[in-house]
Amino acid sequence: MKKDHEKSLLDSHPDYKKENDRLTFTRLYIDQVVTTSKMSEGQVRESLKQAYETLDSLDSSMGYMNLLTGASLLKMTSDQTKRLELVYDKPYFARIDYQKTNEEKESLYIGKASLHDPESQAQIIVDWRSPVANVYYDGRLGEVEYEVNGDSTEGYLSLKRQYQIEEGKLLDIRDIDLTTTDELLQESLAGKADNRLTEIVSTIQKEQNDIIRAPLNRPIIVQGAAGSGKTTIALHRISYFLYVNSETFHPSDLMILAPNHLFIEYISNVLPELGVEKIQQTTLIDYMKRAIGQKIRLADPTQKLLLLVETVDEQASLKWLSTFKGSLEFMSIMDRYIQYIEESMAPNEDVMLEKFRILRGKRLQILFLEDYSYLPVYRRLEKIKGVIQSHIRTKKKHILKKIEDVYENALEKALYGIRNDQKRRKKVTFIMDTKAERLASIQKEARSTVRNYMKTFKKEKATDLYKELLSSAELFQEIAPELSMDKIRLLIQHSQQLFAKRSYEFEDLAPIYYLHGRLYGLEDQDKVRSVFIDEAQDYSYFQLVALRKILETSLFTIVGDLAQGIHSYRGMRDWNVVKNEIFEDAHYFTLQKSYRTTIDIMNVANDVLGLMNEKLPLVEPVVRRGELPSYYQYDPASKNDLGKQMEQDIQTIQKRGFNTIAIIGRTQQECDAINKVMKNRDVRVQLVKEQEDFQKDHVTILPSYLAKGLEFDAVLIPAIHEPYTEKELDVKLLYVAMTRAMHELYLYSERPEDLLLQHVPAEKLQSS
């Protein structure tokens, strides 16, 4: 069978033998490099001898043998060795033939690692992140140029070739023009979800590549439709960032803020492939809690989401409270509150040593409020303490000398001015005793002056100060007189209800983090120099400002989709605010083309999205046809029929070779109901909670709000107890659920209206 395939490929592509030899050599070279890094000199010679015997059968054996000798001279770090081991079975995915102006033509093989011969400097594998590899992603055949450190390099691209290599076997060769590029993309998109993320590097599109390689010294914001490759772009930009800045940045200097732990687990496989597994990966909640350094109990943010989905009397108040706490207005109030704390803490008393003034309070106040204003408030106190200590050390000597001089003068007067021996002796004794006591007293007081002065400054926890502000209507009105007393009372009352339960809500975390950072600063382990945020549409403006200001960096990569903003009640509804008021020098990109979902599924999802009051652009799917989404209307009297139909559909999906299947419910409660329906079925299911990992070979049941950022081969969406309404939040939840599907979508409800399908033309659906 293998020989038949090779003969077929040999017949279809004239360079098959040559390319197969090159692949064999590359893998032997990698093997030799790894061996050299792990073995003794004698073992290396023996390994080299075996490699020569393998190469002897190849047409180009002599040239390859000369290069292979260099592999034994190449010493690599353990990280580099590990990287080569990861790409061993698929060392490269493409080749370009490029001739720089006035130079010889080169054949460059592009992969996920970099490898060169130390003697000849010949490139064995060119890293996809290198400047010349940009020709593969952006260049068409003909005259092409690329940039290196701002300088343009011109040349001629005569060949773009892509390979399909699996487990070290060359399965296919494609010479690329525009038509072939589209075919390769279609084949990649038709692949399965469980390995698509790790293989995306070979089919990165030009508009995605532009974002990945956008200037690294400025923030970027990406508004990307569902399936447009936002996550892919963020991960590959991290990899590119570390490649370009390898000498100045360590992976631990970068941080991914993921929407939840499921997402972190989802991307965990691709990070080692991209060489960035040592990057910090966390959620906003976990990071801010860690940075604050206190145990903070948060009310479940999902409960607020569920309250807002339902029609309740408190809905308008809840929305206002969440929006306000996430607003730039509230950040301004926090700035004023911090100023109030600063001014109330500022030193104003003179520093005295006995009756001598060491430092004027006014001078310390200027130091605290002005000269040291670049420091967190409580760290200014350390500087003030140091200044006082220095002045005491310097002035104490002068004070002691002055006192000694005073007593020496008094002693001299007594010795020569009092004629009565008894009176003179008594006076001299008194002067000497008094001098000794006073000098000792000053020495003792000097030791405690700093401590006594500094203990008047009370350091309070950020949580306590935040509670103080949100517990007093009078204090809040003093800080924010522009806010009506009715709104202040609403805010105070809501906060008191939380504080009574010894808890806070998610929207409180950014203000507390901001307050803590302004007062205490961050510990070294909580500082990062570049931040990558996925699903940023669910962040508030305050959260973004707090991160930028407290981390003291503007190197952010922010990707999101306002159409999927299920937490927009927190305040994020417009990228213009982010562009114009938070990251004013940011590059802004839009991606409306979806590479995930078939056009048939996207047409239905777009009809649902069209119910939004906001004017959001509809997604443009890459033209990839598939099955029409399937709709099954079940009898409410028999939930057993629903479970049986879903079981049959899942088995059909699995027979088609799809491995990742999700059943997405509106809420966690709905997922519990789905789990009961699927109980005792001939299908292995896993009801997933946020902190859990996915179980292999199980159908995943999860709520819509945890599905953001994930993708599956097939998705089933049943409405059992919770129909979707035409309210904005419901529309977004359903849109998120539908756009998780790559290939197949199945819908189940008692009535079409329960899934908003009355707005979808009948010809866009098929009946189960």
User: Mean of the pLDDT values across residues 477-488?
Assistant: 95
What letter would DSSP give residue 369? Answer: I
pLDDT at 1: 47
User: Mean of the pLDDT values across residues 724-730?
Assistant: 90
Comparing 42 with 368, the larger pLDDT belongs to 368
Comparing 19 with 61, the larger pLDDT belongs to 19
User: Mean of the pLDDT values across residues 642-659?
Assistant: 93
Asked if residue 632 lies in contact with residue 604, where contact means CB atoms within 8 angstroms, the answer is no
14 burial level (CB within 10 Å; 0-12, 13-18, 19+): exposed
Q: Give the pLDDT band of residue 755 (cuts 50, 70, 90).
A: very high
Asked if residue 745 lies in contact with residue 736, where contact means CB atoms within 8 angstroms, the answer is no
Output Rg (C-alpha) for the chain, integer angstroms.
Answer: 35
Task: Kindly tell me if the per-residue pLDDT of 718 is higher than 90.
Answer: yes
Q: Give the pLDDT band of residue 618 (cuts 50, 70, 90).
A: confident
Report d(CA 155, CA 157) in Å as an integer: 7
pLDDT digits (tens, 9 = 90+) for 405-462: 888 898 888 888 888 888 888 888 898 888 888 888 888 988 999 999 999 898 899 9
Report d(CA 525, CA 528) in Å as an integer: 8
Task: Kindly tell me if the per-residue pLDDT of 402 is higher than 60.
Answer: yes
Instruction: Give me the CATH code for the 214-347+457-591 domain, please.
Output: 3.40.50.300
Task: Kindly tell me if the per-residue pLDDT of 43 is higher than 70.
Answer: no
Task: Kindly tell me if the per-residue pLDDT of 570 is higher than 90.
Answer: no
Prediction pTM value: 0.84
pLDDT at 186: 52
User: Mean of the pLDDT values across residues 669-687?
Assistant: 92
Length of the chain: 768
Beta strand spans in 273-315 (E): 280-283
Task: Kindly tell me if the per-residue pLDDT of 177 is higher than 80.
Answer: no
Pairing of strands 142-148, 94-100: unpaired
Task: Kindly tell me if the per-residue pLDDT of 23 is higher than 50.
Answer: yes
Give 357-363's long-range contacts (Cβ < 8 A, gap of 24+): 358/388, 358/391, 358/392, 358/395, 358/449, 359/387, 359/388, 359/391
The architecture (CATH level 2) of 599-767 comes to 3-Layer(aba) Sandwich (3.40)
Q: What is the DSSP string of 626-645?
A: -PPPEEEE--TT-HHHHHHH
Task: Kindly tell me if the per-residue pLDDT of 39 is higher than 70.
Answer: no
Backbone angles phi, psi at 680, to 5 degrees: 65, 15
Task: Kindly tell me if the per-residue pLDDT of 351 is higher than 70.
Answer: yes
pLDDT digits (tens, 9 = 90+) for 501-511: 999 999 999 99
Q: What is the residue-averaged pLDDT of the chain?
A: 86
Residue 443: closest CA among 404, 483, 469, 387: 404
pLDDT at 689: 80
Min mean pLDDT across 288-297, 300-309, 354-363 is at: 300-309
Q: Give the pLDDT band of residue 184 (cuts 50, 70, 90).
A: low
Which position has the token pair 């339960």?
Answer: 501
pLDDT at 221: 96
pLDDT at 6: 53
Task: Kindly tell me if the per-residue pLDDT of 179 is higher than 50.
Answer: no
User: Mean of the pLDDT values across residues 726-730?
Assistant: 88
pLDDT digits (tens, 9 = 90+) for 246-265: 889 988 999 999 998 888 88
Domain ranges in the chain are 10-210, 214-347+457-591, 348-456, 599-767
pLDDT digits (tens, 9 = 90+) for 98-116: 999 999 999 999 999 888 8
Report d(CA 90, CA 172) in Å as an integer: 13
> Which strands make up the sheet holding 766-767, listed edge to edge?
685-687, 699-703, 661-665, 712-718, 741-749, 630-633, 766-767
Report d(CA 391, CA 385) in Å as an integer: 10
Asked if the domains at 214-347+457-591 and 599-767 fall in one CATH topology, the answer is yes
Which of 29-43, 90-104, 168-182 is modeled with the greatest confidence?
90-104
* Binding annotation for ATP: 224-231
Q: Give the pLDDT band of residue 55 (cuts 50, 70, 90).
A: low
Q: Is the dihedral of CA 511, 516, 517, 518 positive or negative?
A: positive
Q: What is the DSSP string of 166-186?
A: ETTEEEEEEE--HHHHHHHHH
* Binding annotation: 224-231
Backbone angles phi, psi at 149, to 5 degrees: 50, 40
Q: Give the pLDDT band of residue 270 (cuts 50, 70, 90).
A: confident
The three-class DSSP label of residue 92 is: coil
Min mean pLDDT across 9-18, 213-222, 512-521, 645-654 is at: 9-18
Q: Give the pLDDT band of residue 317 (cuts 50, 70, 90).
A: confident
Give percent helix, percent strand, percent coil of the chain, each to the nearest 5. 55, 15, 30
